[in-house]
Structure 1
Amino acid sequence: MALRPRDVVVVGASAGGVEALRAMVADLPADLPAAVLVVLHLPSGGTSALAGILDRAGPLSATPGRNGERLATGHVYVAPPDHHLLVIGDRIALSHGPTENGHRPAINALFRSAVVSHDAAVTGVLLSGVLDDGVAGLRAIAAQGGVVVIQAPDDALYPALPSHALAAVSPDHVVPAAAIGEVLGKIAGTSVENSVSAPELLRWENDIAGGGVPREKVEYVGAPSEFSCPDCDGALTDIERGQWYRCRMGHAWSAEALLAAQGSALDRAMWTALRTLEERTALTTRMATQAHDRGSPAIAARYEEQARETTEAAEEIRRQLG
């Protein structure tokens, strides 16, 4: 089997990621024989200055990825807002496919596409962040024989993401962000034999991220769950033993991200309930005053009782919200 260079590096980060990325690219070799693709969780609207920041931070040119652009070694490609950054063969693809863990761009989508196209030649890097987007993709890279690099949690501004990765994958390197550039230079100077082709499930998920129509519907890939998708309220299918879920629209959630989204939905529901109760209190109080003014004390007393009940309920919700 022919050898090929480890010439594709994929990097993911979320909270605290700008600082980690700057430290990483500052130490990359100027002649790095690999293309570097970066996903940082971004708001869906507006623009991103990340490419310019990374371009100034290190010796390699950094630009936003463009759809159809051919990968070049010694270059950093950054995901633009509201698009998955994917690798198809030796080119970049930008996709408006379904969100994963509530994100587009998503780290998992980039990692998965790279390993489908480049197999063991991929090096995956996970940096500072919250929750666990990118962990499933990192597992796929490791399973195909790629190299796994994780920022040391005690070096990360937000250690949850690298900590989740360390719990799920046996990494090849765990180092501070400032040391990752040198590590990547050494990895890119090595070669590897391609392993067996990526599993069918990985390819199926990659098709979804690319915005295509998968050959099989999600309900044929896993078992129905009792949960609903926070993005579209559709039923979620359990496709990885309680750790990874997808709905029919293609939105994907890890168990950790789903739990966080449910917590956010509950908070929103409680704030909505609180607002409704306070409005109801104001209305019944006004109606009680009007009843008194009309000389109807019995009706006024009924409205006052309703106002007391809603005030008590609102106070209880406030205590729950902290």
Structure 2
Amino acid sequence: MSHHVDTVVIGGSAGCFTALRRLLADLPEDLPAAVLICQHFSSLGEKHAVDLLRGYSKMPVTLAEDGMEIEAGQIIFARPDVHMMIGQDHLHLRRGAHENNFRPAIDPLFRSAAVYRGPRAIGVILSGMMDDGAAGARALHRTGGHILVQSPDSADFPDMPSAALAAVPEAEPVPLETLAAEIAALTNRPCKPPGGVPWEMGLELKIAGLEGATMANEERLGELSPYNCPHCNGVLWQIEDGPMTRFRCHTGHAYTMESLNASQDRALDESLFNALRAHKGRAALIRQMARKTEGTESRRRLEERAVRYEEDTERLQQIIKNRNTGQP
């Protein structure tokens, strides 16, 4: 097994395309490491984005394939809708549950680097919103990996770099213009041999890879929380991970506190609009029933019911309006 730094894992989201364009242009052609990138692709689409970035890179750029060997001197992008994870010497692509509302997510890639590379890996967090990658960066740091973070003041969206720095205070913030040089300086350096991996880290990697983690083991990750998973409505276990509080359900959906809040907010928004649609439809149907009812008293009762549904509709519309404008 190599005892030199030979693997670079990179994660980014909003604003990441601009950062990657500069970073890939600056990385040397003979970089003695494999570079694996998980980007939350925008409306550009993964193939178009990778084709554009290929034009800036001196190294060959490709999309990941399941079972692909990991070799130095190549850049590999995660495919959409599957997690990309490092194995012993090859890649795994798995359609595991969303993490932090993304698939592919950055955390599974970084966690796999923590398990299979440890001190041999460099983790890099680029521009992005929210905090995907923070837990993965912490995992890689725990097994001896070196964490670099695009300095928040050089990122179009500083949320992800700031979250990574909060999760790993020892991480090194680096301006975008010198980030490639810092990566090149760290690669091929001698490093300690990989050590032991915390059991919970390996378990979370198995969950993301759909490798048959049992409910009994999953329950050991944390304590029951009062929250349900917004994706599948399963119970969430609360995991205390150093400075981070995270959540997982039995089917594998994983959240930081921030991503859980965002997912709950979307679920609430959908529920409110569903209720609004149902109330409007109910009021209209009862009005129609009243018009076709011959008895005066029966018609009156139906009209009163329609009025109550219409009043509820107005209340729901006001609640939705206040949510959109931020009013109390």
Aligned-partner SS, 1:192: coil
Q: Which residue of 2 aligns with 1:153?
A: 152
Q: TM-score, normalised by structure 1?
A: 0.90
CA contact (8 A) 1:217 1:248 kept: no
Q: Deviations over 1:96-135 (max 9, x none)?
A: 2222122221110000101111111111111122221110
Q: Which residue of 2 aligns with 1:192?
A: 191
- The corresponding residue for 1:297 is 296
What is the CA distance between 1:42 and its match in structure 2? 4.5
Structure 2 match to 1:274 = 276
Partner residue in 2 for 1:317:
316
Could you say which residue in structure 1 is the equivalent of 2:232?
232
**1:229 and 1:235 in contact (8 A); partners too:** yes
Q: Distance in 2 between matches of 1:47 and 1:12?
A: 14
Match of 1:67 in 2: 66
Aligned Cα RMSD in Å?
2.2
Q: Deviations over 1:275-297 (max 9, x none)?
A: 01111121222233334xx4x43
Are the counterparts in 1 of residues 86 and 113 from structure 2 also a CA contact under 8 Å?
yes
Identity of aligned residues (%): 36
Equivalences, count: 316
Q: How does 1:111-150 map to 2 (within 5 A)?
A: 111-150=110-149
Distance in 2, matches of 1:121 and 1:317, equals 55
The TM-score with structure 2 as length reference comes to 0.89
- Secondary structure at 1:239 match in 2: strand
Aligned residue identity for 1:141? L
Partner of 2:195: helix, strand, or coil? Answer: coil
Write out aligned runs for 1:203-214 (5 A). Answer: 203-214=202-213
Counterpart of 1:73, as a letter, is A
Distance 1:179 1:317, change over 3 A: farther
Q: Does 1:76 align with 2:78?
A: no
- In the alignment, structure 2 segments of 5+ residues that lack a partner are 322-328
* 3-state SS of paired residue (2:84): strand
Aligned to 1:217: 217
1:33 is displaced (CA, Å) by 1.1
1:33-86, CA deviations, whole angstroms, 9 ceiling, x for partnerless residues? 11100111248xx86433322211221111001122211212110011111111
Residue equivalent to 1:53: 52
2:236, 2:228 → 1: CA distance?
5
Supply the distance in 2 between the matched residues of 1:155 and 1:188 (Cα, whole angstroms): 23
Corresponding position of 1:262: 264
Counterpart Cα distance in 1 of 2:300 and 2:155: 60
CA distance in structure 1 between the partners assigned to 2:96 and 2:41 by the alignment: 15
| Alpha-carbon separation, structure 1, partners of 2:49 and 2:77 | 7
Determine if the alignment matches structure 1 residue 283 to structure 2 residue 282.
no
- Distance of 2:41 and 2:230 partners within structure 1: 18
- Contact 1:42–1:82 (CA under 8 A) maintained in structure 2: no
Unaligned runs of 5+ in 1: none
Contact 1:149 1:171 in 2 (8 A): no
Provide the residue aligned with 2:325 in structure 1: none
3-state DSSP of counterpart to 2:191: strand
The aligned amino acid for 1:220 is: R
Give the drift of 1:239.
Answer: 3.0
